[in-house]
Chains A and B, each alone.
Chain A
Amino acid sequence: MIHRQSGNMTTHDVYAALLAVRDPEIPTISVVDMGIVTNVEVRSDDDVHVTMTPTFVGCPAIDVMRSDVEAAVRGLGVAHVTVDVNFDEPWTTNRLTEAGRAALLKHGLAPPEQFETLTLKLDVLNNVACPYCGSRDTDLKSPFGPTLCRSLHYCNACLQAFEGFKPV
Chain B
Amino acid sequence: MNTAALADLCYRMADDELILAHRHSEWTGLGPILEEDIAFSSIAQDKLGHAQALYAIMHAHCGEPEPDVAAFMRNAEQMRCSHFVELPIGEYDFSLVRHFLFDAAEYVRWTALVESSVEPLAKLARKIHGELKYHLYHAQTWMVQLGAKGNEESHARMQSALREAWPYALGMFEPGNHEQALIDEGISIGEVATQERWIATVTELLASSTLEVPSSTEAHLGGRKGYHTDHLQPLLDEMTEVYRIDPSAEW
Contacts and interface: CB of A to CB of B under 8 A. Distances in A.
A144 B52 contact: no
B158 interface: no
B138 interface: yes
For chain A, give the interface size range.
Answer: 20 to 34
Contacts of A99: none
A56 B46 contact: yes
Interface in B133-167: 133-134, 137-138
Closest 9 CB pairs of A and B: A58-B49, A57-B49, A90-B127, A144-B42, A142-B35, A144-B39, A168-B130, A87-B123, A143-B134
Interface of A: 54, 56-60, 86-88, 90-92, 117-118, 120, 122, 141-146, 148, 152, 166, 168
Nearest to B47: A58
Contacts of B50: 57-58
B126 interface: yes
B131 A57 contact: yes
Interface of B: 35, 38-39, 41-43, 45-50, 52-53, 120, 123-124, 126-131, 133-134, 137-138
Contacts of B52: 57-58
A33 B48 CA distance: 27
Contacts of B129: 118
B144 to A, nearest CB: 14
A142 B38 contact: yes
B88 to A, nearest CB: 23
Most B CB contacts (10 A, CB to CB) among A59, A117, A143, A152 go to A143
A122 B35 contact: no
